[in-house]
Amino acid sequence: MKMAVIGAGSWGTTVAALAARRQPVTLWARRPELVDAINGGENPDYLAGFRLPYGLRASTDLEHAASGAETIVMAVPSHGYRTVLSDLAPFIPEATPILSLTKGIEQDSLKRMSEVTSEVLPSHDAATIGVLTGPNLAREIMQGQPAATVIAMENQEVASRLQEAFMDPTFRVYTNQDVVGAETAGALKNVMAIAAGMARGLGLGDNTLAALITRAIAELTRLGEALGGDPTTFAGLAGVGDLIATCMSSQSRNHRVGVELAGGRVLEEIIEEMNMVAEGVKTTRAVLDLANRVAVEVPIAQQVGKVLYESAHPREAVLALMTRRAKPEA
């Protein structure tokens, strides 16, 4: 089964490398110099020091990348997803499954990536459009450390085929049918990771982080259910699993943004220095808009928004959360 992975960041390259152990994979990248490096066996910009498998080839040509591919994997940031997929659309046969790795929400439309995909590819069967998500830090997976993920897709026959394509002795793949829940969890956890990073950056301890993560799970579940997600999804790899990894790890880009903000850095400087996209910075506004649309309280996301967009200090945000009206745990 030939596969095309569109987007050569750290996660796109990692997923392409996993798949290339079992089938030929073409990885699309924008820049010719990065393509040359990948074809030489390494992605120096995003995964320096890791050798890539021989079955992985890179190209700057979308048509070439998609040619003969039986699965398209989208690994571009949410803000560029629609544009890249629109450029790719003429080269994708209608029966080709589309799997998104993107953990974000489109800013203007407030749509999840599967919804964007269905709009760009209206003739595609929505049941074969899905998402791969979970607690997946790219460098650890490239090191061969054990990890697990989930493919959410309505068509379980196709999902099972994709499960086999990515399964590896150190990378366990599960499936479920809750695309809404999996995508919502993946987007919101990035916002929560910024909050966790701010707590760490302020020098707060494990009690604080445990309380934050626990309340983040409640917040994520409330919003996800209101948007149509299955509550069990938020207790699984796409929800709690991804949330813990992203909130606890210094490898997380969103966590790093929070740490830097707590240290007094200006957001624009932090973003400019980063070589990769921190989806939570853009997603926070979309999450707040979605929560407002369905009348769901998201206090952690609200405080992250105040820090990101209203220049509030992270310490003020923590105080605001701790002094909210007393209520039962729910």
Domain boundaries, the chain: 3-177, 187-322
* Band of pLDDT at residue 272, cut at 50, 70 and 90: confident
Whether 254 has a pLDDT exceeding 80, the answer reads: yes
pLDDT digits (tens, 9 = 90+) for 116-148: 999 999 999 999 999 999 999 999 999 999 999
* 327 in active site: no
Q: Which residue has the tokens 């999804």?
A: 233
The contacts of residue 251 (CB under 8 Å, 6+ apart) are 137, 139, 140
pLDDT digits (tens, 9 = 90+) for 157-173: 999 999 999 999 999 99
Q: Model's pTM, two decimal places? A: 0.94
Q: Which of 103, 189, 282, 306 is catalytic?
A: 189
Decide if 262 contacts 198 (C-beta within 8 A).
yes
pLDDT of res. 276: 65
Where do the DSSP E strands lie in the chain?
3-6, 25-28, 56-59, 71-74, 98-100, 129-133, 147-152, 171-176
Residue 133: alpha-carbon gap to chain centroid: 7
The contacts of residue 186 (CB under 8 Å, 6+ apart) are 103, 104, 131, 133, 238, 242
Decide if 18 contacts 56 (C-beta within 8 A).
no
The angle at the Cα of 160, spanning 159 to 163, to the nearest 5 degrees, equals 85
Q: Between 330 and 280, where is the model more confident?
A: 280
CATH 3.90.550.10 fits 3-177, yes or no: no
* CATH architecture for the domain at 187-322: Orthogonal Bundle (1.10)
Decide if 171 contacts 149 (C-beta within 8 A).
yes
Whether 268 has a pLDDT exceeding 90, the answer reads: no
pLDDT digits (tens, 9 = 90+) for 205-252: 999 999 999 999 999 999 999 999 999 999 999 999 999 999 999 898
The amino acid present at 242, given as its one-letter code, is D
